[in-house]
Amino acid sequence: MGRVALAAKVTHVPSMYLSEMPGKHHGCRQAAIDGHREISRRARERGVDTFVVFDVHWLVNAGYHVNSNHRFKGVYTSHELPHFIKDMPYDYDGNPALGDAIAAAANRRGIVTRSHKVESLTLEYATLVPMRYMNADRAFKVVSVAAWCNWHSHADSRNFGLAVREAIEASGNTVAVLASGSLSHRFQDNGSPEESMHTISREFYREVDLRVVKLWRERRYKEFLAMLPEYNEKCLGEGHMHDTAMLFGLLGWDRYAGECEIITDYFASSGTGQINAEFHL
């Protein structure tokens, strides 16, 4: 039998890659990078063999989708922010059997889901950035799930998350699951992102984000989930916060009572709110 050994909400800000580069921004996201490396360390310690990533940069308009390719290899430049991420190489092994099992479990629950093995279906940076710091040595297989769900309900994503857990537990895999997305996600108005790299776009968003983190620390998940629809709407959730709905579906939704451990403290990035946090199982 398989198991979920680690579940986390993680940042994937492109300034993490920029932080590696020589120049004035060198080291600016070291805390976030260190947080990813700590998650990797924990995954290795727990015998994880596969990362499943709920990727809010993979946009879909109909149904749910899983990238179940055997291998992911290429060089990535962000269309969104090519001056932040350009020519970033990657090479990871996939887990097609688990990807297929996730789709099958979701379909049994009435959530129309497709598992794809299409070589030209590449990864988005909400998967690539975490894997750069957690999986540089290709120690883990990767399954990427579309979580920028434009016309979907949180109820379906909750149900999808439960299906992911069912598929993992029926597999032979030990899995780490990442909800890769921000908290609030209102970018700064047009201008130089470099000038606003460490700021929030509105104080309102920071205050709501910090309230959410407080609820998580205090294990007040029922209250958080009750506010999730409005939180998403008022704070312009990334991918409509479907990664978060999927994660909490996997955790057990409002029955979840585990500890939320902050690995990287809340920080602002180009107007948005970011964090690395593990939800203990």
Domain that holds residue 131: 3-279
Number of domains in the chain: 1
Q: Which residues of 57-89 are buried (b: 16+ CB within 10 A; e: fewer)?
A: bbebeebbbbbbbeebeeebebeebeebbeebe
Cα–Cα dist 199/255, whole Å: 35
- For 166-210, how does the pLDDT look when each residue is reduced to its tens digit (9 = 90+)? 999 999 999 999 999 999 999 888 766 667 788 999 999 999 999
- For 93-143, how does the pLDDT look when each residue is reduced to its tens digit (9 = 90+)? 999 999 999 999 999 999 999 999 999 999 999 999 999 999 999 999 999
Instruction: Identify the pLDDT of residue 38.
Output: 98
Of all residues in the chain, the percent with pLDDT exceeding 70 is: 99
- The domain spanning residue 78 has which CATH number? 3.40.830.10
pTM above 0.95, yes or no: yes
